[in-house]
Amino acid sequence: MIGFEHLKKISHTSPSKIVFLVIDGVGGLPRPETGKTELESARKPNLDQIAKESICGLIDPVSPGITPGSAPGHLAIFGYDPVKYTVGRGIIAALGIDLELNPEDIAARGNFCTIDNRGIITDRRAGRISTEINTELCQLLNEKITVNGAEILVTPVKEHRFVLILRGEGLSPQLTDSDPQQVGLAPKKVDALSPSAQRTAEIANEFVSRVKSLLQDKAPANMVLLRGFSQHPDIPSMPDIYKLKPAAIAIYPMYRGLAKLVGMQLLPAGDNITDQLKSLHQHYSDYDFFFIHFKATDSRGEDGDFEAKVHAIEEVDAALPNLLNLNPDVLIVTGDHSTPATLAMHSWHPVPFMLRSNWCRFDSVTEFSERACLSGGLGRFAAVEIMPLAMANALKLDKFGA
Amino acid sequence: MIGFEHLKKISHTSPSKIVFLVIDGVGGLPRPETGKTELESARKPNLDQIAKESICGLIDPVSPGITPGSAPGHLAIFGYDPVKYTVGRGIIAALGIDLELNPEDIAARGNFCTIDNRGIITDRRAGRISTEINTELCQLLNEKITVNGAEILVTPVKEHRFVLILRGEGLSPQLTDSDPQQVGLAPKKVDALSPSAQRTAEIANEFVSRVKSLLQDKAPANMVLLRGFSQHPDIPSMPDIYKLKPAAIAIYPMYRGLAKLVGMQLLPAGDNITDQLKSLHQHYSDYDFFFIHFKATDSRGEDGDFEAKVHAIEEVDAALPNLLNLNPDVLIVTGDHSTPATLAMHSWHPVPFMLRSNWCRFDSVTEFSERACLSGGLGRFAAVEIMPLAMANALKLDKFGA
């Protein structure tokens, strides 16, 4: 891909609209009983009709063999090299619960855990305490713990998980984890990875030491483990690179967070794909790029529930007429990675992709599936190439070079 | 692609011949009435016969979604990374009129324009004055304007366009444009983008100021605008990289200029493809690489004239027997970019490609077209890979590594 510095120069604003439907984890694997993947098993007349009018292919979100997390998966399809632009674990956790972050905040992912009387970890998840107990404990920490040099914000996530924010001036995320990632060891001291992080390391260690005193009688949640200290990454925004006015219609906080990270406006998304498409209609004239995120395909894939994933695909398909009636200049349908139900996890398999526009030079693919897209006109390609293709098909890119 | 430093080491001279036929803008899009592209509509038995004996594919001159100008399009198919090796607008303009350039010359693209009595631009093209008036004005500037520190050469192009050459020692092209690219503003001062360009900026501004005095009564052409200050790029030559003795048979100056830039000898080209192939015969024993450039496909595509582009393809095809009778060891047919008549401009769509040699491992493609080449043995690939493929098929490349 040519660099952002070149894309900035050749991108221009125009009235044409790009709609980007991301069916999370849509790629799959054949079920042994039928030899068909989730997409091949679903009844999906609308997706297949789009395939007939599209140029199709298969995307590699990162590169062959690499299974992407949600952050690299989405950054790649938004045009960001997912190896160059990374989002730390702490920031991901904060985005995942819709925390408002300042650019200088340091975020860490936290676990409540259990230590024995010698200080050795016996359970990294504190017996998976309830979210209610977690919430009470976080409130306690927020009330009782103050540390010189930084404001401390502890926000509960589910069960034993929380997010720690250190807020203050001149803090650095160049820190090691306190979480040794196994039982039988003591929590580690947080170390500075650069001299400028020394003070922040002291603050983190001071926090942990106060927590230890405060929770000593709260077993099984009598200690915390911290990892993934990170700061909001410095990512060039989509409006800056592409001169787009982009908006996101995503229900889950993680995807809203990723969208915000790249400069999208967040629009109301309601509770399901039908609500999302209503919102698309309401705001269609105000933006020129829309990211619509559909989650259930990934969730059911991770559950290992093949049938339920098939139904989720059918649910998207059934909602599509209320997208197709807008007839966007460029319509893209793909996923951020594959989540085969037979594997019950994100996977490295390339993801079916289709792009429909008046200028897409459509191919002979007649179905939206892994096998069919293999013979598509785009072949197999890197997900970071999607955005230049979308922009070109929307006639928003000037010629490169004289 | 492996780098030039490696290619230099493994390239060797041999008697085998490579003929590279570039059908400019050959790729297209289906016409709605028939669903067929220009290539699919043309009667082209010779091109189709070559396809049957070739390995086929589709090339991306720059990268997916990026529409190349003629310079990056050609540099890519000659094996140069078109993002790394760029040719400035001024140099392109100079090449386009066959100007002889010294390596240190600074070239700028110029427009005669109209300013009002407050110095505000009212027409960036001076009412598109005739080429005759342009020629007279350029002669006037050449005669009357001298500037300390550089020789000034003003050469007319068509209508309101000219090329300015600043010739002298220690000049720098690190300059901003004087052309504000819109009416209603005054021409801008030329600024130095680096301290070493300060003197050249002063020379350029002095030139503009002299022009303004000299042309004050010559409305509508009473001022000039300059842009794209640039110098002959420092490009490693094809003879140096590949140990080839390459020659170009191109009718239009721009393509002769690009060929010269990469170290090709220019051969007589006559007026049409028949003349070009006669020239190929005459010089066949003196060189081992021939670049033959055919322009009309691109011109008719840019005109938006689908039928005329089809005829241009048929014109090339009809001339081919006088190329095929030479039976070159490697014959490559492709374009530098697509120019779909339905878009009437250069486009980002990948370009059909075929390579015929005794060693090409030919595929099952039986037709030279966008759709047919999609299933070719080379798949979709970056145009910079063509030269190593050409060299390999000519058995001019040694093994890489022991």
Given an 8 Å threshold on Cβ–Cβ distance, is A3 in contact with B228? no
Q: pLDDT band at B181, cuts 50/70/90?
A: confident
Distance between CA atoms of residues A69 and A352, nearest Å: 17
Alpha-carbon distances of B240 from B236, B237, B243, rounded to whole Å: 7, 5, 5
Given an 8 Å threshold on Cβ–Cβ distance, is B66 in contact with A397? yes
**Facing residue for B66 by CB, picked from A363, A364, A388:** A388
Alpha-carbon distances of B62 from B186, B307, B339, B349, rounded to whole Å: 36, 28, 15, 10
Question: Omega before A220 cis (within 30°)?
Answer: yes
Is the confidence at residue A254, as pLDDT, over 90?
Answer: no
Q: Is B177 on the interface with A (CB under 8 A)?
A: no
Pairing between strand B18-23 and A121-123? Answer: unpaired
Is the confidence at residue A98, as pLDDT, over 90?
Answer: no
Task: From chain A, pick out residues whose CB is under 8 angstroms from the CB of B340.
Answer: 359
Q: Is B74 on the interface with A (CB under 8 A)?
A: no
Q: pLDDT band at A29, cuts 50/70/90?
A: very high
pLDDT, tens digit (0-9, with 9 covering 90-100), for A285-312: 999 999 999 999 999 999 999 999 999 9
Q: Is B375 on the interface with A (CB under 8 A)?
A: yes
Q: Is A359 on the interface with B (CB under 8 A)?
A: yes
Alpha helices in B37-128 (DSSP H): 38-41, 45-52, 70-77, 89-96
Residue percentage of chain A with pLDDT more than 90: 95
The distance of A131 to chain B (nearest Cα, Å) reads 47
Q: Is A103 on the interface with B (CB under 8 A)?
A: no
Give strand ranges (E) for B281-375: 289-294, 330-334, 351-357
Spatial CB neighbours of B43, under 8 Å, sequence gap ≥ 6: B314, B317
Is the confidence at residue B362, as pLDDT, over 90?
Answer: no
Distance between CA atoms of residues B71 and A123, nearest Å: 64
Given an 8 Å threshold on Cβ–Cβ distance, is A389 in contact with B348? yes
Record the tokens describing residue A382, joined without a space: 């890197």
Is the confidence at residue B223, as pLDDT, over 90?
Answer: yes
Pairing between strand B18-23 and B330-334? Answer: parallel
pLDDT, tens digit (0-9, with 9 covering 90-100), for B231-282: 998 899 999 999 999 999 999 988 998 999 999 999 999 999 999 999 999 9
Q: pLDDT band at B288, cuts 50/70/90?
A: very high
The residue of chain A with its CA nearest to that of B85 is A401
Q: Is A84 on the interface with B (CB under 8 A)?
A: no
Q: What is the CA radius of gyration of chain A?
A: 23
Distance between CA atoms of residues B201 and B212, nearest Å: 17
Alpha helices in A106-166 (DSSP H): 131-144
Q: Which of B37, B40, B59, B63 to mutate to test the interface with A (most CBs of A within 10 A)?
A: B63
Among candidate residues A311, A324, A249, A313, the one with its CA nearest the CA of residue A50 = A324
Cβ-count burial A88-116 (b if 16+ within 10 Å, e if not): bbbbbbbbbbebebeeebbbbbbbbbbbe
Distance between CA atoms of residues B39 and A127, nearest Å: 68
**Facing residue for B65 by CB, picked from A364, A379, A397:** A397
The distance of B66 to chain A (nearest Cα, Å) reads 7
B116 contacts B106 by C-beta, under 8 angstroms: no
Residue B187 DSSP symbol: P
**Mean local confidence (pLDDT), B108-128:** 95
Number of residues in chain A: 402
Which phi and psi (to 5°) does residue A258 adopt?
-65, -40
Question: What number of C-beta contacts closer than 8 Å exist between A and B?
Answer: 83
Pairing between strand A379-382 and A55-60? Answer: parallel
Q: pLDDT band at A253, cuts 50/70/90?
A: confident
Work out the mean pLDDT of chain B and round it to a whole number: 96
189-228 in A: which are within 8 Å (CB) of B? none
